[in-house]
Amino acid sequence: MTDDLVEELLTGKHRALARVITKIENRQPGYREIVSRLHEHTGTADVIGITGSPGAGKSTLVDKMAATYRERGLTVGVIAIDPSSPFTGGAVLGDRIRMGSNVGDMDVFFRSMSARGSLGGLSTATTDAVKALDAFGKDKVIIETVGAGQNEIDIVKMADTVAVLVPPGSGDDVQMLKAGILEIADVFAVNKADLTGADRTVQELREMIQYRQGDVSVDAGHHGPGAGMEDLDKPGEDADGWLPPIVETVANRDEGVDEFLEALADHREYIVSAGRLAERERTRHREEIRTLLREDMSELLEEEIDHRGGLDRYVERVRERETDPYAVSDELLGPLAECVRRTREE
Amino acid sequence: MGADQEQRTVRCLVAKVGLDGHDRGAHVISRAFRDAGFEVIYSGLHRAPEEIVQATVQEDVDVLGISILSGAHDTLVPKIIDGLEEYDASGDTLVLVGGIIPDEDEEQLKELGVAEVFGPGAPMQEMIDFVRENVPDRR
Protein backbone atom coordinates (compact mmCIF):
# COMPACT_ATOMS: atom_id res chain seq x y z
CA MET A 1 0.00 0.00 0.00
CA THR A 2 2.68 2.54 0.98
CA ASP A 3 4.80 1.26 -1.90
CA ASP A 4 2.08 2.08 -4.37
CA LEU A 5 1.52 5.45 -2.82
CA VAL A 6 5.16 6.50 -3.07
CA GLU A 7 5.33 5.23 -6.65
CA GLU A 8 2.18 7.10 -7.56
CA LEU A 9 3.45 10.28 -5.96
CA LEU A 10 6.72 10.05 -7.85
CA THR A 11 4.89 9.58 -11.13
CA GLY A 12 2.95 12.74 -10.50
CA LYS A 13 -0.44 11.63 -9.26
CA HIS A 14 -2.07 14.47 -7.33
CA ARG A 15 -4.30 12.25 -5.29
CA ALA A 16 -1.29 10.30 -4.03
CA LEU A 17 0.51 13.49 -3.06
CA ALA A 18 -2.56 14.66 -1.16
CA ARG A 19 -2.88 11.31 0.58
CA VAL A 20 0.77 11.24 1.57
CA ILE A 21 0.43 14.66 3.20
CA THR A 22 -2.66 13.42 5.04
CA LYS A 23 -0.72 10.46 6.36
CA ILE A 24 2.06 12.78 7.46
CA GLU A 25 -0.40 15.04 9.23
CA ASN A 26 -2.21 12.19 10.91
CA ARG A 27 0.99 10.31 11.64
CA GLN A 28 -0.75 7.29 10.28
CA PRO A 29 1.06 3.97 10.50
CA GLY A 30 3.61 3.74 7.74
CA TYR A 31 4.14 7.44 7.30
CA ARG A 32 7.73 7.25 8.51
CA GLU A 33 8.58 4.72 5.87
CA ILE A 34 6.98 6.92 3.22
CA VAL A 35 8.96 9.98 4.24
CA SER A 36 12.14 7.92 4.43
CA ARG A 37 11.61 6.74 0.89
CA LEU A 38 10.84 10.22 -0.36
CA HIS A 39 13.97 11.73 1.11
CA GLU A 40 16.31 10.63 -1.67
CA HIS A 41 14.07 12.31 -4.23
CA THR A 42 14.17 15.68 -2.53
CA GLY A 43 16.51 18.61 -2.73
CA THR A 44 15.49 20.23 -5.99
CA ALA A 45 12.75 22.59 -4.84
CA ASP A 46 13.35 26.17 -3.85
CA VAL A 47 11.64 26.54 -0.48
CA ILE A 48 10.28 29.98 0.40
CA GLY A 49 8.80 30.90 3.78
CA ILE A 50 6.28 33.71 4.03
CA THR A 51 5.30 35.06 7.39
CA GLY A 52 3.76 38.17 8.89
CA SER A 53 1.00 39.32 11.18
CA PRO A 54 -2.64 38.33 10.53
CA GLY A 55 -4.12 40.51 7.81
CA ALA A 56 -0.75 41.46 6.35
CA GLY A 57 -1.86 39.99 3.04
CA LYS A 58 0.17 36.80 3.02
CA SER A 59 -2.41 34.63 1.28
CA THR A 60 -3.11 37.21 -1.39
CA LEU A 61 0.59 37.66 -2.09
CA VAL A 62 1.14 33.91 -2.18
CA ASP A 63 -1.67 33.62 -4.70
CA LYS A 64 -0.04 36.21 -6.97
CA MET A 65 3.37 34.63 -6.49
CA ALA A 66 2.02 31.27 -7.54
CA ALA A 67 0.32 32.76 -10.60
CA THR A 68 3.52 34.57 -11.63
CA TYR A 69 5.65 31.45 -11.21
CA ARG A 70 3.12 29.53 -13.29
CA GLU A 71 3.39 32.13 -16.07
CA ARG A 72 7.10 31.39 -16.07
CA GLY A 73 6.37 27.70 -16.48
CA LEU A 74 7.28 26.67 -12.95
CA THR A 75 5.21 24.38 -10.78
CA VAL A 76 4.25 25.48 -7.29
CA GLY A 77 3.37 23.84 -4.00
CA VAL A 78 1.91 25.84 -1.15
CA ILE A 79 1.50 24.85 2.48
CA ALA A 80 -0.62 27.32 4.41
CA ILE A 81 -0.65 26.93 8.16
CA ASP A 82 -3.45 28.31 10.29
CA PRO A 83 -3.96 28.06 14.03
CA SER A 84 -6.30 25.50 15.54
CA SER A 85 -8.38 25.81 18.66
CA PRO A 86 -6.47 24.59 21.68
CA PHE A 87 -9.80 23.53 23.20
CA THR A 88 -11.53 21.47 20.55
CA GLY A 89 -8.69 20.95 18.10
CA GLY A 90 -10.98 22.27 15.41
CA ALA A 91 -9.95 24.90 12.92
CA VAL A 92 -11.25 26.99 10.06
CA LEU A 93 -8.55 27.14 7.43
CA GLY A 94 -9.31 30.17 5.33
CA ASP A 95 -6.19 30.83 3.26
CA ARG A 96 -7.58 28.98 0.30
CA ILE A 97 -10.21 31.64 -0.25
CA ARG A 98 -7.53 34.00 -1.56
CA MET A 99 -6.22 31.56 -4.12
CA GLY A 100 -8.37 33.04 -6.87
CA SER A 101 -5.65 33.38 -9.51
CA ASN A 102 -4.99 29.69 -9.81
CA VAL A 103 -8.45 28.31 -10.40
CA GLY A 104 -8.48 24.77 -11.68
CA ASP A 105 -4.70 24.78 -12.15
CA MET A 106 -3.59 21.53 -10.60
CA ASP A 107 0.04 22.50 -11.00
CA VAL A 108 -0.46 24.83 -8.08
CA PHE A 109 -0.84 22.37 -5.26
CA PHE A 110 -2.30 24.23 -2.33
CA ARG A 111 -2.62 22.53 1.01
CA SER A 112 -4.03 23.95 4.24
CA MET A 113 -2.61 22.62 7.48
CA SER A 114 -3.70 23.39 10.99
CA ALA A 115 -1.34 23.80 13.88
CA ARG A 116 -2.67 20.66 15.47
CA GLY A 117 -0.67 18.74 17.98
CA SER A 118 2.43 19.80 19.74
CA LEU A 119 5.13 22.31 19.10
CA GLY A 120 7.68 19.99 17.59
CA GLY A 121 4.95 18.04 15.84
CA LEU A 122 3.95 20.87 13.55
CA SER A 123 7.43 21.62 12.34
CA THR A 124 8.07 17.93 11.72
CA ALA A 125 4.81 17.60 9.80
CA THR A 126 5.58 20.72 7.79
CA THR A 127 9.13 19.57 7.00
CA ASP A 128 7.76 16.24 5.84
CA ALA A 129 5.00 17.83 3.78
CA VAL A 130 7.59 20.04 2.09
CA LYS A 131 9.55 16.89 1.30
CA ALA A 132 6.49 15.36 -0.30
CA LEU A 133 6.03 18.41 -2.53
CA ASP A 134 9.73 18.49 -3.32
CA ALA A 135 9.80 14.80 -4.25
CA PHE A 136 6.67 15.31 -6.36
CA GLY A 137 8.79 17.69 -8.43
CA LYS A 138 7.53 21.12 -7.48
CA ASP A 139 9.96 23.85 -8.51
CA LYS A 140 8.83 26.28 -5.84
CA VAL A 141 7.47 25.36 -2.45
CA ILE A 142 5.94 28.16 -0.41
CA ILE A 143 5.26 27.82 3.31
CA GLU A 144 2.83 30.40 4.58
CA THR A 145 2.32 30.94 8.28
CA VAL A 146 1.18 33.57 10.74
CA GLY A 147 4.27 34.87 12.45
CA ALA A 148 3.16 34.84 16.03
CA GLY A 149 5.65 32.86 18.00
CA GLN A 150 8.57 30.53 18.27
CA ASN A 151 6.56 27.73 16.78
CA GLU A 152 6.03 29.57 13.52
CA ILE A 153 9.56 30.86 13.43
CA ASP A 154 10.81 27.30 13.67
CA ILE A 155 8.69 26.44 10.67
CA VAL A 156 9.76 29.21 8.33
CA LYS A 157 13.36 28.73 9.39
CA MET A 158 13.49 25.62 7.29
CA ALA A 159 12.93 27.65 4.14
CA ASP A 160 15.84 28.64 1.93
CA THR A 161 14.52 32.17 1.81
CA VAL A 162 12.25 33.80 4.38
CA ALA A 163 10.12 36.80 3.55
CA VAL A 164 8.38 38.81 6.23
CA LEU A 165 5.31 40.82 5.28
CA VAL A 166 4.61 44.05 7.06
CA PRO A 167 1.45 46.06 6.51
CA PRO A 168 1.77 49.85 6.70
CA GLY A 169 1.17 51.78 9.87
CA SER A 170 1.95 48.81 12.01
CA GLY A 171 3.90 50.36 14.81
CA ASP A 172 2.81 47.53 17.06
CA ASP A 173 3.67 44.91 14.53
CA VAL A 174 7.08 46.39 14.21
CA GLN A 175 7.37 45.94 17.93
CA MET A 176 6.45 42.31 17.46
CA LEU A 177 9.02 41.95 14.74
CA LYS A 178 11.71 43.03 17.12
CA ALA A 179 10.88 40.03 19.26
CA GLY A 180 12.41 37.65 16.78
CA ILE A 181 10.89 37.71 13.35
CA LEU A 182 13.13 40.51 12.23
CA GLU A 183 16.19 38.35 12.57
CA ILE A 184 14.87 35.63 10.31
CA ALA A 185 13.84 37.88 7.41
CA ASP A 186 15.87 37.63 4.23
CA VAL A 187 13.44 39.88 2.39
CA PHE A 188 10.87 42.34 3.68
CA ALA A 189 7.69 43.18 1.82
CA VAL A 190 5.66 46.18 2.86
CA ASN A 191 2.37 44.97 1.49
CA LYS A 192 -0.67 47.20 0.96
CA ALA A 193 1.87 49.85 0.02
CA ASP A 194 -0.89 52.04 -1.38
CA LEU A 195 -2.16 52.78 2.11
CA THR A 196 -1.03 55.84 4.00
CA GLY A 197 1.84 55.19 6.30
CA ALA A 198 3.64 52.86 3.91
CA ASP A 199 6.57 55.22 3.51
CA ARG A 200 6.95 55.48 7.21
CA THR A 201 6.88 51.72 7.67
CA VAL A 202 9.56 51.34 5.00
CA GLN A 203 11.60 53.97 6.82
CA GLU A 204 11.16 52.23 10.17
CA LEU A 205 12.17 48.92 8.71
CA ARG A 206 15.22 50.45 7.09
CA GLU A 207 16.29 51.84 10.42
CA MET A 208 15.79 48.50 12.07
CA ILE A 209 17.82 46.68 9.47
CA GLN A 210 20.64 49.12 10.08
CA TYR A 211 20.28 48.52 13.77
CA ARG A 212 20.41 44.80 13.15
CA GLN A 213 23.63 45.26 11.23
CA GLY A 214 25.23 47.12 14.06
CA ASP A 215 23.74 44.99 16.79
CA VAL A 216 26.16 42.38 18.02
CA SER A 217 23.58 40.39 19.88
CA VAL A 218 22.29 38.96 16.63
CA ASP A 219 24.57 36.92 14.50
CA ALA A 220 25.34 39.42 11.79
CA GLY A 221 28.88 40.57 12.09
CA HIS A 222 28.91 43.84 10.23
CA HIS A 223 31.07 46.77 10.86
CA GLY A 224 29.02 49.29 8.95
CA PRO A 225 28.56 52.90 9.91
CA GLY A 226 26.14 51.94 12.66
CA ALA A 227 28.48 49.47 14.31
CA GLY A 228 31.32 50.16 16.62
CA MET A 229 29.80 49.45 20.00
CA GLU A 230 31.62 46.15 20.07
CA ASP A 231 34.64 45.18 18.10
CA LEU A 232 34.15 41.44 18.11
CA ASP A 233 34.41 39.79 14.75
CA LYS A 234 31.55 37.37 14.59
CA PRO A 235 31.57 35.41 11.37
CA GLY A 236 27.84 35.01 11.00
CA GLU A 237 26.13 33.82 7.87
CA ASP A 238 25.62 37.37 6.73
CA ALA A 239 29.19 38.34 7.44
CA ASP A 240 29.93 39.37 3.90
CA GLY A 241 26.77 41.21 3.44
CA TRP A 242 23.24 40.23 2.68
CA LEU A 243 21.19 43.26 3.42
CA PRO A 244 17.50 42.32 3.48
CA PRO A 245 15.83 44.37 0.77
CA ILE A 246 12.50 46.06 1.41
CA VAL A 247 10.00 45.66 -1.42
CA GLU A 248 6.73 47.54 -1.62
CA THR A 249 3.83 45.48 -2.89
CA VAL A 250 0.11 45.83 -3.44
CA ALA A 251 -0.68 42.16 -3.74
CA ASN A 252 -4.37 42.41 -4.55
CA ARG A 253 -3.56 44.67 -7.52
CA ASP A 254 -0.59 42.57 -8.54
CA GLU A 255 1.81 45.47 -8.05
CA GLY A 256 5.38 44.90 -6.99
CA VAL A 257 5.06 41.12 -7.21
CA ASP A 258 7.73 40.85 -9.90
CA GLU A 259 10.09 42.98 -7.82
CA PHE A 260 9.33 40.82 -4.82
CA LEU A 261 10.11 37.62 -6.71
CA GLU A 262 13.24 39.30 -7.99
CA ALA A 263 14.35 39.95 -4.42
CA LEU A 264 13.66 36.31 -3.51
CA ALA A 265 15.66 35.15 -6.52
CA ASP A 266 18.54 37.46 -5.58
CA HIS A 267 18.62 35.93 -2.14
CA ARG A 268 18.50 32.46 -3.59
CA GLU A 269 21.46 33.31 -5.79
CA TYR A 270 23.28 34.75 -2.81
CA ILE A 271 22.90 31.60 -0.71
CA VAL A 272 23.67 29.24 -3.57
CA SER A 273 26.96 31.03 -4.13
CA ALA A 274 29.88 30.22 -1.88
CA GLY A 275 28.26 27.13 -0.41
CA ARG A 276 25.83 28.92 1.84
CA LEU A 277 22.95 26.77 0.68
CA ALA A 278 24.78 23.64 1.71
CA GLU A 279 25.39 25.20 5.10
CA ARG A 280 21.70 26.03 5.44
CA GLU A 281 20.80 22.51 4.48
CA ARG A 282 23.16 21.13 7.08
CA THR A 283 21.62 23.34 9.75
CA ARG A 284 18.16 22.27 8.67
CA HIS A 285 18.92 18.56 8.76
CA ARG A 286 20.61 18.98 12.10
CA GLU A 287 17.45 20.59 13.48
CA GLU A 288 15.30 17.98 11.82
CA ILE A 289 17.20 15.12 13.38
CA ARG A 290 17.23 16.78 16.78
CA THR A 291 13.49 17.45 16.70
CA LEU A 292 12.78 13.90 15.64
CA LEU A 293 15.02 12.51 18.34
CA ARG A 294 13.26 14.60 20.96
CA GLU A 295 9.87 13.41 19.78
CA ASP A 296 10.85 9.76 19.52
CA MET A 297 12.56 9.95 22.87
CA SER A 298 9.54 11.46 24.53
CA GLU A 299 7.41 8.76 23.03
CA LEU A 300 9.66 6.10 24.48
CA LEU A 301 9.32 7.83 27.82
CA GLU A 302 5.53 7.97 27.55
CA GLU A 303 5.61 4.24 27.03
CA GLU A 304 7.70 3.80 30.15
CA ILE A 305 5.44 6.09 32.16
CA ASP A 306 2.36 4.18 31.05
CA HIS A 307 4.07 0.96 31.99
CA ARG A 308 4.63 2.32 35.47
CA GLY A 309 0.99 3.21 35.88
CA GLY A 310 0.82 6.73 34.51
CA LEU A 311 2.14 10.08 35.48
CA ASP A 312 -0.63 10.92 37.92
CA ARG A 313 0.83 8.69 40.57
CA TYR A 314 3.98 10.78 40.56
CA VAL A 315 2.06 14.02 40.37
CA GLU A 316 0.23 13.21 43.57
CA ARG A 317 3.43 12.33 45.36
CA VAL A 318 4.99 15.58 44.22
CA ARG A 319 1.96 17.44 45.52
CA GLU A 320 2.22 15.69 48.87
CA ARG A 321 5.86 16.78 48.99
CA GLU A 322 6.99 13.17 49.21
CA THR A 323 9.17 13.68 46.19
CA ASP A 324 9.96 16.45 43.72
CA PRO A 325 9.89 16.79 39.92
CA TYR A 326 13.65 16.41 39.55
CA ALA A 327 13.65 13.19 41.54
CA VAL A 328 10.77 11.86 39.44
CA SER A 329 12.65 12.67 36.24
CA ASP A 330 15.75 10.92 37.57
CA GLU A 331 13.73 7.92 38.61
CA LEU A 332 12.05 7.57 35.22
CA LEU A 333 15.12 8.28 33.14
CA GLY A 334 17.57 6.39 35.32
CA PRO A 335 16.94 2.92 33.92
CA LEU A 336 16.99 4.24 30.34
CA ALA A 337 20.26 6.04 30.86
CA GLU A 338 21.74 2.99 32.48
CA CYS A 339 20.64 0.78 29.64
CA VAL A 340 22.10 3.12 27.03
CA ARG A 341 25.42 3.33 28.85
CA ARG A 342 25.61 -0.41 29.28
CA THR A 343 24.97 -0.99 25.58
CA ARG A 344 27.58 1.57 24.66
CA GLU A 345 30.23 -0.14 26.73
CA GLU A 346 29.61 -3.51 25.22
CA MET B 1 3.58 13.52 22.08
CA GLY B 2 5.60 11.11 20.02
CA ALA B 3 6.15 11.16 16.31
CA ASP B 4 4.24 7.97 15.81
CA GLN B 5 1.22 8.82 17.84
CA GLU B 6 -1.62 9.01 15.42
CA GLN B 7 -3.58 12.23 15.30
CA ARG B 8 -6.61 11.63 13.18
CA THR B 9 -8.71 14.71 12.60
CA VAL B 10 -11.77 14.90 10.39
CA ARG B 11 -11.16 17.33 7.53
CA CYS B 12 -14.08 19.00 5.77
CA LEU B 13 -14.42 21.30 2.82
CA VAL B 14 -17.43 23.57 3.05
CA ALA B 15 -18.09 24.68 -0.50
CA LYS B 16 -20.23 27.31 -2.17
CA VAL B 17 -20.64 26.71 -5.89
CA GLY B 18 -22.05 28.79 -8.66
CA LEU B 19 -23.88 32.09 -8.61
CA ASP B 20 -25.29 31.85 -5.14
CA GLY B 21 -24.31 34.57 -2.74
CA HIS B 22 -25.93 33.24 0.39
CA ASP B 23 -23.22 32.03 2.69
CA ARG B 24 -24.67 32.52 6.15
CA GLY B 25 -25.55 28.86 6.34
CA ALA B 26 -22.10 27.80 5.16
CA HIS B 27 -20.54 30.02 7.81
CA VAL B 28 -22.72 28.63 10.57
CA ILE B 29 -21.88 25.08 9.54
CA SER B 30 -18.17 25.87 9.30
CA ARG B 31 -18.21 27.12 12.85
CA ALA B 32 -20.22 24.21 14.17
CA PHE B 33 -17.82 21.77 12.49
CA ARG B 34 -14.86 23.64 13.90
CA ASP B 35 -16.35 23.50 17.38
CA ALA B 36 -16.93 19.79 16.91
CA GLY B 37 -13.17 19.47 16.50
CA PHE B 38 -13.08 19.17 12.71
CA GLU B 39 -10.68 21.00 10.46
CA VAL B 40 -12.76 23.08 8.12
CA ILE B 41 -11.63 24.56 4.86
CA TYR B 42 -14.07 27.11 3.54
CA SER B 43 -14.05 27.64 -0.20
CA GLY B 44 -15.38 31.18 -0.28
CA LEU B 45 -18.23 32.31 -2.52
CA HIS B 46 -18.95 31.79 -6.22
CA ARG B 47 -16.64 28.86 -6.85
CA ALA B 48 -16.62 26.90 -10.07
CA PRO B 49 -17.06 23.12 -9.85
CA GLU B 50 -13.41 22.66 -10.99
CA GLU B 51 -12.23 24.73 -8.06
CA ILE B 52 -14.16 22.56 -5.65
CA VAL B 53 -12.70 19.45 -7.23
CA GLN B 54 -9.19 20.92 -7.05
CA ALA B 55 -9.66 21.81 -3.39
CA THR B 56 -11.18 18.44 -2.47
CA VAL B 57 -8.33 16.55 -4.09
CA GLN B 58 -5.48 18.71 -2.83
CA GLU B 59 -6.77 19.10 0.69
CA ASP B 60 -7.66 15.40 0.80
CA VAL B 61 -10.77 16.11 2.84
CA ASP B 62 -12.86 13.36 4.35
CA VAL B 63 -16.03 15.31 3.87
CA LEU B 64 -17.18 17.63 1.11
CA GLY B 65 -20.20 19.70 2.11
CA ILE B 66 -21.74 21.56 -0.81
CA SER B 67 -24.11 24.38 0.01
CA ILE B 68 -26.47 25.40 -2.76
CA LEU B 69 -29.50 27.60 -2.39
CA SER B 70 -29.85 28.68 -5.99
CA GLY B 71 -31.52 25.60 -7.41
CA ALA B 72 -28.57 24.80 -9.68
CA HIS B 73 -27.70 21.63 -7.80
CA ASP B 74 -28.76 19.36 -10.64
CA THR B 75 -26.09 20.84 -12.94
CA LEU B 76 -23.35 21.70 -10.45
CA VAL B 77 -23.30 18.62 -8.23
CA PRO B 78 -22.85 16.13 -11.10
CA LYS B 79 -19.96 18.22 -12.44
CA ILE B 80 -18.24 18.06 -9.09
CA ILE B 81 -18.78 14.34 -8.72
CA ASP B 82 -17.46 13.69 -12.23
CA GLY B 83 -14.40 15.75 -11.40
CA LEU B 84 -13.80 13.77 -8.23
CA GLU B 85 -14.01 10.56 -10.20
CA GLU B 86 -11.42 11.85 -12.61
CA TYR B 87 -8.95 12.10 -9.72
CA ASP B 88 -10.03 8.87 -7.99
CA ALA B 89 -11.40 10.92 -5.15
CA SER B 90 -15.10 10.04 -5.26
CA GLY B 91 -14.82 6.66 -3.57
CA ASP B 92 -13.57 7.80 -0.22
CA THR B 93 -14.98 11.28 0.09
CA LEU B 94 -18.24 11.72 1.96
CA VAL B 95 -20.26 14.13 -0.17
CA LEU B 96 -23.05 16.06 1.54
CA VAL B 97 -25.39 18.61 0.04
CA GLY B 98 -27.15 21.29 2.01
CA GLY B 99 -29.59 23.99 1.00
CA ILE B 100 -32.87 24.17 -0.83
CA ILE B 101 -33.25 20.83 -2.58
CA PRO B 102 -36.70 19.60 -3.70
CA ASP B 103 -37.54 16.09 -2.49
CA GLU B 104 -37.66 14.65 -6.00
CA ASP B 105 -34.11 15.89 -6.67
CA GLU B 106 -32.80 14.43 -3.45
CA GLU B 107 -33.10 10.88 -4.78
CA GLN B 108 -31.27 11.80 -7.95
CA LEU B 109 -28.41 13.35 -6.01
CA LYS B 110 -28.13 10.28 -3.84
CA GLU B 111 -27.97 8.07 -6.91
CA LEU B 112 -25.05 10.16 -8.09
CA GLY B 113 -23.18 9.43 -4.90
CA VAL B 114 -24.27 12.12 -2.48
CA ALA B 115 -24.43 10.51 0.95
CA GLU B 116 -27.05 12.78 2.49
CA VAL B 117 -29.00 15.94 1.82
CA PHE B 118 -29.70 18.37 4.63
CA GLY B 119 -32.48 20.91 4.19
CA PRO B 120 -33.29 24.07 6.11
CA GLY B 121 -33.68 23.50 9.83
CA ALA B 122 -31.60 20.34 9.95
CA PRO B 123 -30.17 20.21 13.47
CA MET B 124 -26.44 20.90 13.60
CA GLN B 125 -25.85 17.97 15.92
CA GLU B 126 -27.50 15.63 13.45
CA MET B 127 -25.04 16.68 10.74
CA ILE B 128 -22.05 16.35 13.05
CA ASP B 129 -23.18 12.91 14.15
CA PHE B 130 -23.76 11.89 10.56
CA VAL B 131 -20.24 12.95 9.63
CA ARG B 132 -18.71 11.15 12.59
CA GLU B 133 -20.58 7.94 11.79
CA ASN B 134 -19.98 7.97 8.07
CA VAL B 135 -16.53 9.45 7.71
CA PRO B 136 -14.66 7.17 5.32
CA ASP B 137 -12.18 4.81 6.87
CA ARG B 138 -8.99 5.21 4.89
CA ARG B 139 -6.54 2.57 5.78
Residue B3 placed within a domain: no
Query: Is pLDDT of B73 > 80?
Result: yes
Please report the residues numbered 101 through 140 in chain A whose beta carbons come closer than 8 angstroms to any beta carbon of chain B: 103-106, 109-112, 114, 116-118, 120-121, 124
**CA A336 remoteness from chain centre:** 32
What is A42-274's CATH topology?
Answer: Rossmann fold (3.40.50)
Tens-digit pLDDT profile for residues A209-256: 777 665 544 444 444 444 434 433 333 445 557 888 999 999 888 899
Here the ipTM equals 0.86
Phi-psi region of B95 (alpha: psi -120 to 50; beta: other; left: phi over 0): beta
Q: What is the mean pLDDT of residues A95-117?
A: 82
| Lowest-confidence region among A99-108, A171-180, B60-69 | A171-180
Query: Residues of A with CB below 8 A from B43's CB?
Result: 96-97
Give the per-residue SS3 of chain A.
Answer: CHHHHHHHHHCCCHHHHHHHHHHHHHCCCCHHHHHHHHHCCCCCCEEEEEEECCCCCHHHHHHHHHHHHHHCCCCEEEEEEECCCCCCCCEEECHHHHCHHHCCCCCEEEEEEECCCCHHHHHHHHHHHHHHHHHHCCCEEEEEEECCCHHHHHHHCCCCEEEEEECCCCHHHHHHHHHHHHHHCCEEEECCCCCCCHHHHHHHHHHHHHHHHHCCCCCCCCCCCCCCCCCCCCCCCCCCCCCCCEEECEHHHCECHHHHHHHHHHHHHHHHHHHHHHHHHHHHHHHHHHHHHHHHHHHHHHHHHHHCCCCHHHHHHHHCCCCCHHHHHHHHHHHHHHHHHHHHHC
Residue A203, Cβ density class (10 Å: 0-12 exposed, 13-18 middle, ≥19 buried): exposed
| CATH number, residue B25 | 3.40.50.280
> Using one digit for the tens of pLDDT, what is the confidence trace for A262-314?
999 999 999 988 788 888 888 888 988 998 898 888 888 888 899 888 899 89
Quick check: is B5 in a domain?
no
Q: How many domains in chain B? A: 1
Quick check: helix, strand or coil at residue B14?
A: strand
Give per-residue pLDDT as tens, B93-111.
999 999 989 999 999 999 9
Cβ–Cβ of A90/B2 closer than 8 Å? no
- The pLDDT-based confidence of B124 (bands split at 50, 70, 90) is very high
- Give A147 or A68, the one with higher predicted confidence: A68
Residue B108: domain span: 11-133
pLDDT at A198: 86
With a cut of 90, say whether residue B58 has pLDDT above it: yes
| Residue pair A105/A34 in contact by the 8 Å Cβ criterion | no
Listed by start position, the domains of chain A span 1-40, 42-274, 308-345
Q: Which residues in chain B have their CB less than 8 angstroms from residue A112's CB?
A: 39, 41, 59
pLDDT band at A171 (very low <50, low <70, confident <90, very high): low
Confidence at A13, pLDDT banded by 50, 70, 90 = very high
How sure is the predictor about B113, in pLDDT bands with cuts at 50, 70 and 90?
A: very high
What is the number of CB-based contacts under 8 A between chain A and chain B?
127
Q: What would the mean pLDDT of B14-33 be, rounded to a whole number? A: 90
